[in-house]
């Protein structure tokens, strides 16, 4: 399998710093709740929360969201879906929620996340932040904050590796 490295550890850190600055510039002064989509979106959300706290000097509310029961393909998965836990620490009603994921592809994960999120209340607004946007949308969903847009073919895969989960920070494009 041929791989191309798109972001190394240093470049990923720079992208996350830039995203944190954009979020502060765009959403400052509101009740903001970061919600990371399990798994790597949650890891990225924790990193962004620290960056935002360091930049603003204010604590940032942070939650995680497991979307497995909301996926539109769970009945076609051979094994039963593995159900994790969500942690939404506050009532999201009238808050601005920043939904965070690693890769935006078809839009189906984000649709599932929106369905799951609405079980916790009616937010004032939901914004989407992704580390990588690879295109090929099947639903009319787009990110408000994008770390990097990567043109891909359908026969390629974007892999985001994070130190917390994988032992290193790396984004690569693989031929499948």
∠4-100-26 over CA atoms, to 5°?
Answer: 110
The structure tokens listed for 57 are 């000097």
Q: What is the pLDDT of residue 46?
A: 98
pLDDT at 120: 95
Contact 45, 102 (CB under 8 A): no
What mean pLDDT do residues 34-53 have? 97
pLDDT tens, 50-93?
999 999 999 999 999 999 887 666 555 566 666 788 999 999 99
In a domain, 49, yes or no: yes
Which CATH number is 26's domain given?
3.40.50.2020
The answer as to whether 163 is a domain residue is no
Q: What is the structure's pLDDT at 73?
A: 63
pLDDT in tens, 123-174: 999 999 999 999 999 999 999 999 999 999 999 999 999 999 999 999 999 9
Q: Judge whether 167 lies within some domain.
A: no
Strands (E), the chain: 3-7, 32-37, 61-65, 96-104, 125-133, 145-149, 156-161, 170-175
Domain for residue 172, yes or no? no
pLDDT digits (tens, 9 = 90+) for 92-105: 999 999 999 999 99
Average pLDDT over residues 97-116: 96
The alpha carbon of 62 is separated from its chain's Cα centroid by a whole number of angstroms, namely: 13
The per-residue pLDDT for 147 is 98
pLDDT score, position 52: 96
How far, in Å, CA of 75 to CA of 56, rounded?
43
pLDDT of residue 31: 78
Does some domain include residue 4? no
Q: Residue 33: its pLDDT value, please?
A: 96
141 within a domain of the structure (yes/no): yes
Give the residue-averaged pLDDT of 24-50. 93
Answer yes or no: is 137 within a domain: yes
Cβ count within 10 A of residue 119: 12
Supply angle C-alpha 124, 136, 155, rounded to 5: 140
CA–CA separation, 153 and 134 (whole Å) = 9
**DSSP bridge pairs for 145:** 129
Q: Report the alpha-carbon distance of residue 73 to residue 93 in Å, rounded.
A: 29
Both tokens assigned to 14: 């720079």
**Are 96 and 30 spatial neighbours (Cβ–Cβ below 8 Å)?**
yes
Number of structural domains in the chain: 1
CB atoms within 10 A of CB 167: 9
Asked if residue 160 is part of any domain, the answer here is no
Domain that includes residue 107, residue range = 11-71+81-155
pLDDT of residue 68: 86
Q: Kindly tell me if the per-residue pLDDT of 26 is higher than 90.
A: yes
The pLDDT assigned to 82 comes to 67
């Amino acid at each position: 399998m041929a791989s191309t490295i798109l972001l190394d550890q240093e470049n990923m850190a720079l992208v996350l710093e830039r995203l944190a600055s954009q979020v502060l510039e765009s959403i400052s002064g509101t009740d903001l709740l970061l919600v990371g989509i399990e798994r790597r979106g949650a890891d990225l959300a924790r990193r962004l929360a620290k960056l935002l706290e360091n930049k603003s000097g204010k604590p940032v509310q942070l939650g995680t969201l497991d979307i497995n029961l909301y996926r539109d393909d769970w009945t076609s998965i051979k094994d039963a879906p593995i159900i994790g836990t969500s942690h939404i620490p506050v009532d999201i009603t009238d808050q601005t929620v920043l939904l965070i994921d690693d890769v935006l592809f078809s839009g189906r994960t984000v649709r599932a996340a929106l369905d799951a999120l609405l079980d916790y209340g009616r937010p004032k607004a939901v914004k989407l932040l992704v580390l990588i946007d690879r295109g090929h949308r099947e639903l009319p969903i787009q990110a408000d904050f994008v770390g990097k847009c990567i043109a891909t073919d359908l026969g390629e895969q974007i892999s985001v590796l994070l130190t917390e989960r994988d032992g290193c920070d790396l984004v690569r494009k693989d031929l499948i």
